[in-house]
Amino acid sequence: SSRFIGITTAPPDAILGLTEAFAADTNPQKMNLSVGVYKDASGQTPVLKCVKAAEKWLVENEKTKGYLPIDGQADYRRHVRNLIFGDCVESDRVSVVQTPGGTGALRVAAGFLNSQLAPIRVWISTPTWANHNAVFTSEHVPQEAYRYLADDKKSFDLDGMIDDLTNNTRPGDAVLLHACCHNPTGVDPTAEQWDQIASVVAEKRLLPIIDFAYQGFGNGLAEDTVAVRAILKVCDEAIVCSSFSKNFGLYSERVGAISILSGDAEMAGAVQSQLKTLVRSNYSNPPRHGAAVVATILDDADLTQMWHDELTEMRTRIKRLRQQFVETMKKTGKGHDFGFLLDQNGMFSFSGLNKMQVDELKNKHSIYIVGSGRINVAGMSEDRMDQLCAAIADVIE
Ligand code: PLP
Query: What pLDDT, on a 0 to 100 scale, did the predictor assign at position 16?
Result: 79
243: CA distance to ligand 1 center in Å? Answer: 7
Of 71, 154, 194, 246, which is the active-site residue? 246
Nearest CA to ligand 1 atom 7: 213
Instruction: State yes or no: cis peptide before 287, omega within 30 of 0.
Output: no
Number of the ligand 1 atom closest to the C-alpha atom of 129:
3
How far apart, in whole angstroms, are the C-alpha atoms of residue 25 and residue 19? 10
287 in contact with ligand 1, CB cutoff 6 A: no
Of 123, 129, 194, 307, which is the active-site residue? 129
Respond yes or no on whether ipTM tops 0.95: yes
- The candidate with the shortest Cα–Cα distance to 54, out of 320, 262, 306, is 306
Report residues of the chain scoring pLDDT below 70: none
213 in contact with ligand 1, CB cutoff 6 A: yes
How far apart, in whole angstroms, are the C-alpha atoms of residue 42 and residue 380? 10
Query: What pLDDT, on a 0 to 100 scale, did the predictor assign at position 17?
Result: 83
Query: What pLDDT, on a 0 to 100 scale, did the predictor assign at position 12?
Result: 80
pTM recorded for the entire structure: 0.96
Query: What pLDDT, on a 0 to 100 scale, did the predictor assign at position 11?
Result: 85
**Contact of 215 with 225, CB cutoff 8 Å:** yes
211 in contact with ligand 1, CB cutoff 6 A: yes
Query: What pLDDT, on a 0 to 100 scale, did the predictor assign at position 35?
Result: 86
Query: What pLDDT, on a 0 to 100 scale, did the predictor assign at position 368?
Result: 95
Query: What pLDDT, on a 0 to 100 scale, did the predictor assign at position 371?
Result: 87
Strands 374-376 and 348-350: antiparallel
Q: Known catalytic residue: 319? A: no
